Structure 1
Amino acid sequence: MANNKHFRTVGIIAEYNPFHNGHAYHIKKAKELSQADFCIVVMSGDFVQRGAPAVYDKYTRTAMALSCGADLVLELPSVFATSSAEDFAAGSVALLDRLGVVGSICFGSECGDIETLIAIASVLAKEPEAYTQALRAGLKKGLTFPQARYQALVSCQILTDEQASILTSPNNILGIEYCKAMIRQKSSLLPLTISRKGSGYHDPAVTENQFSSATGIRNILKERERSALPKDFSLLQVPEPVKLMIENGYPIFPDDYSVLLNAALLRLSHSGTSFDTFADVSEELAARLSNQLPDYLPFEEKIDSLKTRQYTYTRVSRALLHIILGITSEQILSARNAGYAPYARVLGFKKASADLMGQIKKRGSIPLITKTAGAELALPENVRFMLRQDFYCSHIYQTVLQDKYRINIKNEFTQSVVIS
């Protein structure tokens, strides 16, 4: 290991859904740009920010990352992994900051201009009164949040059209949220960015471009599952070790959760529990859900039936996922009040970087969890619900995985961390 006083560590926030060549490039460039000896990844668990199950379970995705340059993978608490971009970023930044060993965070962006991203984040972190009023007015008109924010920033002459247009690209948006979280949390972490190369974040196509999107790869996996064609994975733009894991893996898709969703909606309606108890479910969306009962649509068709100009596909998907997982608005508020990251749960690490965890234990300000047995007892009573929710979410995922493929799955209390 590098000299304890001088070794450098860069943090990456990711979902790896699934891991592909662009992710391997990101890890390599992040280490180069930060001159880091180690890379710590904060990764979503079994459910991701767009409101869906991850295509592969968190341990498989951890193994993918470790095989391609990551040194330590930590799980982002589930209440933030499936939340808005703002909470997703705040939880991830807080976790990396409290490890005590991370000097910088490196993320991809479409613009590749860190100064501009920081400047926009500084404005959004302060939320001037004129901007806040204009934002509310836009939302009342039925605009989506991104549309209302763009209009408010330009109408209040806080940003030019050109500057505000940066907020229309998904990786720019997340990058700004990371910077905003660092500003609000008064973090000493240094933000770094690299230009995203290859396909766009949501590009469904997979071509010879070596940086095809995760969306495109998921679409291929879904189509191959539906067809009777041979499972030829040669065209997938992923590193060789990952290709082998995909070939031997067990993918999961949103429609695999259709029965759970419909059962949850019926159960909650029968018990008199209001749908808007759950995170991202507004009164209007709750009413629309009630009006559709009983309506046993598949998960993705249910999203299409509920989305509107104001309620985007992703917003509705997150809302429905929160109902399945039992994640309430009150839980998210409590997790924010607990400082976003009251613990760091290890999903996997490289043997060669095992000493890195020793440094985190010495220098970090939160418990480092490597074993589930007795893990709750290491936490203050008021934050134990977060870890229990993590266990619950993964057990839901494992239940669906086992039922779909008729295989024996280790649960959160029998699964060991991944060591590469």
Structure 2
Amino acid sequence: MKTVGVIVEYNPLHNGHVYHFEQSRRAAGADAVVAVMSGHFLQRGEPAVAGKWARAEMALHMGADIVIELPVAYSSHAAEWFAYGAVSLLDATGVVDSVCFGSESGDIAKLSAAAQLVWREDDAFRALVRRELAGGGNYPAAYSAAAERTLAAAGIDGIDMRQPNNTLGLFYLIALLRLGSTIEPLTIARTKAGYNDQTITDRRIASATALRGLIFGDTPDSGQLQNIAPYVPPYTLSILQREAQAGRAPVSWANYSRPLLHRLLVEPATELAQYAEVTEGLEHRIKRALPELRLAEGEAAAEALLLLLKTKRYTRTKLQRTLLRLLLGHRKDELAPELLRSGAAYLRVLGFSPRGRQLLARMRTAAKVPVVTKVTDADWPYLAMDIRATSAYALGFARCDSRELFRDYYEPPIQRSEEARSDT
């Protein structure tokens, strides 16, 4: 059974994701698709608009055969570790033949050549990054600029490393090299909507960022899930509406202002400094900002704090990740590079199809790490972090009970019947 892997967030799953999914399966000539999907909290340091089980259900409706959870230790990290964690999971399955990702470039040969040039990050490359940082920029911009200089010196052109999916694709390829993986990389050019596009120019395709803007934005009829109907498959809308009725969606940073402020107010700066992403004295900047918060009725404290903290050095994404690590209690020693480099010690299955059941049987003998469908007997630090993340995520629900707080212990993998698959 030829199998392709995809690395996704589906926040929420939209028509552009369906296009990428079908093109990935076609490009790989695959019989089955394994999706590594972020859990409740995402790469830009945001809570998902709907929880991991709802989004896994969307993926299964689309045609995914197995959905594996990317641990929050990786899913809410910067691009390098996000990519490494996801690729290491695909590699650990023992059944994935290829991985297909979207990129602005769409040129796997050039991206692969670029990865070969920069993956070891030699002294010359590090010097370029330091030079860019010395100009006052942030690390992602400095890395992209150093990569572009390196590629230009080698005569490789046509890859804009300022484009987020080119950069993320580069890190997927670097992860394959660092793991010594035999998985074949493939890429599909993004179409009609960029990753961060906030405007909608097509009748059927819009970025997830733009769709969240329709849900949470300031337009007169914002907040109505029906607004996104033209841009998502029917099952996405139906699942989101069901989750909204249950009080579990839509979720944003605004839902977590109180627990976040509690952490920031009660812990001294010396303690805040022990949390992941709190760097370069950011703990003091946070403490100085707290008395400046002026919260009008209905204004979200998390959003107001982000506006106070943002600088050229500290991007919004960096700050969101910082606040998320503080909210979830992720300390620096838990996310040390040497631990992240080891990859996840397990494969947590969120859902599967009938074909996925056959693939799971193969995985149980071929996988490099245990395959987990029940968490009751599991005792891995990153899985414990995911269980705590579920509890924290549930605190943002309009209606929450103890079962939601500890849902990881109750929820079995979602099983999609063949009849349940929906095509658009």
After TM superposition, the structure 1 = structure 2 runs for residues 195-274 of structure 1, keeping only pairs within 5 Å, are 195-223=189-217, 227=221, 232-233=226-227, 235-249=229-243, 250-269=249-268, 273-274=270-271
The equivalent of 1:32 in structure 2 is: 26
1:70 to 47, 61, 64: 64
2:304 to 276, 301, 306: 301
Q: Distance in 2 between matches of 1:130 and 1:228?
A: 49
Q: Distance in 2 between matches of 1:332 and 1:309?
A: 25
Identical pairs, percent: 34
Is the Cα–Cα contact under 8 Å of residues 104 and 189 in structure 1 kept in the other structure?
yes
1:280 to 270, 277, 281: 277
- Provide Cα deviations, 1:162-217, integer angstroms capped at 9, x if missing partner: 73852111111111110011111111111000011121111112354322100111
The equivalent of 1:318 in structure 2 is: 321
Match of 1:171, SS?
Answer: helix
The equivalent of 1:123 in structure 2 is: 117
Matched, 1:19 2:13: yes
Is the Cα–Cα contact under 8 Å of residues 8 and 36 in structure 1 kept in the other structure?
yes
The equivalent of 2:88 in structure 1 is: 94
Q: CA deviation at 1:229?
A: 7.9
Match of 1:74, SS?
Answer: strand
| Aligned amino acid, residue 281 of structure 1 | V
Q: CA deviation at 1:295?
A: 4.8
Q: CA deviation at 1:393?
A: 0.5
Q: Distance in 2 between matches of 1:228 and 1:202?
A: 19
Moved more, 79-88 or 129-138: 129-138
Q: Distance in 2 between matches of 1:10 and 1:84?
A: 24
Is the Cα–Cα contact under 8 Å of residues 25 and 31 in structure 2 kept in the other structure?
yes
Could you tell me which runs of 5 or more consecutive residues in structure 2 were left unpaired when the two chains were aligned.
244-248, 296-300, 417-424
Q: CA deviation at 1:233?
A: 3.8
TM-score (norm 1): 0.90
Matched, 1:290 2:258: no
Q: CA deviation at 1:337?
A: 5.4
Match of 1:248, SS?
Answer: helix
Q: CA deviation at 1:230?
A: 6.1
Could you tell me which runs of 5 or more consecutive residues in structure 1 were left unpaired when the two chains were aligned.
1-6, 377-383
Matched, 1:344 2:347: yes
Q: CA deviation at 1:29?
A: 1.1
The equivalent of 2:179 in structure 1 is: 185
Moved more, 289-298 or 180-189: 289-298
Q: CA deviation at 1:59?
A: 0.3
Q: CA deviation at 1:159?
A: 4.1
Match of 1:40, SS?
Answer: strand
Moved more, 30-39 or 145-154: 145-154
Q: CA deviation at 1:245?
A: 1.2
The equivalent of 1:381 in structure 2 is: none
Matched, 1:41 2:35: yes
The equivalent of 1:144 in structure 2 is: 138
Q: Quick one: structure 1 residues 351 and 224, their matched pair in 2 at CA, closer, same or farther if it must change by over 3 Å?
A: farther
C-alpha root-mean-square deviation of aligned residues, in Å? 2.3
The equivalent of 1:355 in structure 2 is: 358
| Aligned amino acid, residue 98 of structure 2 | S
Is the Cα–Cα contact under 8 Å of residues 214 and 223 in structure 2 kept in the other structure?
no
Match of 1:98, SS?
Answer: helix
Match of 1:199, SS?
Answer: coil
Q: Distance in 2 between matches of 1:131 and 1:341?
A: 28
- Equivalenced residues, count: 403
Match of 1:232, SS?
Answer: helix
| Aligned amino acid, residue 324 of structure 1 | L
Q: Distance in 1 between matches of 2:151 and 2:195?
A: 29
| Aligned amino acid, residue 259 of structure 1 | R
Match of 2:273, SS?
Answer: helix
- Provide Cα deviations, 1:366-394, integer angstroms capped at 9, x if missing partner: 00000121122xxxxxxx21111010001
Matched, 1:108 2:102: yes
Q: CA deviation at 1:406?
A: 5.5
Q: CA deviation at 1:242?
A: 1.3
